[in-house]
């Protein structure tokens, strides 16, 4: 539900901000966001959180390797995702020749697909465990980013626009499908849930910053949108390899006679 709220905000807020920035400029758009943030902060005073009556969790010995693999997956996924997404406007301009309004439409597709991805991943993780949902989301994300790279390198005209829409939808579905099973992995360890989730969030934002840097350097050195997409896809495959490593650790050892 929390991830769904974030993806809903992305689905509707980012396209709206893109249109507003194109019509009235980015500065008035930021002032409008500031006003909404102030109103939201004031509204929280009327809805104070309920006090948590649960006792503090008892210390639990958590295998460090389990947490390290989970956080490493978050770091690589976020780095790969934001290697691309930080420069999505530049890349879409090269692949589909879209301006501000066209970009808003693409981002709306991305956000709606993200809503579906978060819901589907939560449903699947509840039924099969988190690793199949993670593997599916990372595979789709990597494939969609690689596809965008091919579109940027080869396609042109209406074909590029249609293919870019499909790839952006796949990317949105896949990348928003990652957080629900990742949180489930951490919560299932039995450790301090607040601390572990805060670690995951911090790791995610480290990936956001690192991805922006990698994408910027790749774009500056190659002058190629395709190279940025392929670099992002490669990082997602590295995250998928960590999921495979986690799956192999869960398999029972073979008995020898």
Nearest to 72 by CA among 226, 166, 185, 155: 185
* Domain assignment present for 55: no
Asked whether the predicted pLDDT for residue 14 surpasses 90, the reply is no
Q: What are phi and psi of 217, to 5 degrees?
A: -65, -40
* Domain assignment present for 47: no
Q: How far apart are the first and last CA of the chain?
A: 49
Residue 62: band (very low, low, confident or very high) from pLDDT cuts 50, 70, 90: low
Say what the pLDDT of residue 57 is: 56
CATH number of the domain to which 217 belongs: 1.20.1250.20
* Domain assignment present for 235: yes
* Domain assignment present for 9: yes
- Residue 103 · residue 168 · CB < 8 Å: no
Tokens at 166, concatenated: 């499909």
Average pLDDT, the chain: 86
Q: Which residue has the higher pLDDT, 217 or 256?
A: 217
Say what the pLDDT of residue 76 is: 97
pLDDT 10s digits, 84-95 = 999 998 888 887
* Domain assignment present for 112: yes
* Domain assignment present for 214: yes
The parent domain of residue 20 ranges over 2-38+65-250
* Domain assignment present for 51: no
pLDDT 10s digits, 114-161 = 999 999 999 999 999 999 999 999 999 999 999 999 998 886 677 888
Question: How many other CB atoms sit within 10 Å of the CB of residue 257?
Answer: 2
Lowest mean pLDDT among 47-51, 59-63, 232-236, 238-242: 59-63
Looking at residue 253, the DSSP 8-state letter turns out to be P
Asked whether the predicted pLDDT for residue 252 surpasses 80, the reply is no
* Domain assignment present for 57: no
Nearest to 106 by CA among 191, 44, 15, 45: 15
Say what the pLDDT of residue 67 is: 86
Domain count, the chain: 1
pLDDT 10s digits, 181-236 = 999 998 888 777 888 889 999 999 999 999 999 999 999 999 899 999 999 999 99
Tokens at 251, concatenated: 């398999």
């Amino acid at each position: 539900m929390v991830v769904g709220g974030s993806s809903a905000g992305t689905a509707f807020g980012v396209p709206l901000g893109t249109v507003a920035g194109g019509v009235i400029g980015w500065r008035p758009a930021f002032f409008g966001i500031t006003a909404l943030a102030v109103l939201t902060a004031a509204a929280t005073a009327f809805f104070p959180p309920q006090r948590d009556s649960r006792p503090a969790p008892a210390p639990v010995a958590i295998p460090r390797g389990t947490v390290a693999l989970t956080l490493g997956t978050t770091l690589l996924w976020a780095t790969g995702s934001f290697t691309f997404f930080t420069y999505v406007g530049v890349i879409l301009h090269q692949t589909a020749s879209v301006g501000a309004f066209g970009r808003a439409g693409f981002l709306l597709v991305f956000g709606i697909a993200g809503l579906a991805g978060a819901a589907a991943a939560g449903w699947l993780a509840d039924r099969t465990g988190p690793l199949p949902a993670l593997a599916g989301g990372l595979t789709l994300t990597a494939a969609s980013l690689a596809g965008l790279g091919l579109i940027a390198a080869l396609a042109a005209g209406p074909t590029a626009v249609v293919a870019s829409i499909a790839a952006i939808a796949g990317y949105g579905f896949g990348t928003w499908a990652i957080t629900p099973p990742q949180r489930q992995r951490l919560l299932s360890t039995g450790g301090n849930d607040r601390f572990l989730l805060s670690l995951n969030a911090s790791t995610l934002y480290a990936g956001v910053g690192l991805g922006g840097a990698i994408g910027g350097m790749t774009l500056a050195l190659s002058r190629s949108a395709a190279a940025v997409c392929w670099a992002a896809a490669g990082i997602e495959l590295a995250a998928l390899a960590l999921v495979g490593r986690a799956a192999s650790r869960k398999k029972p050892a073979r008995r020898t006679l």
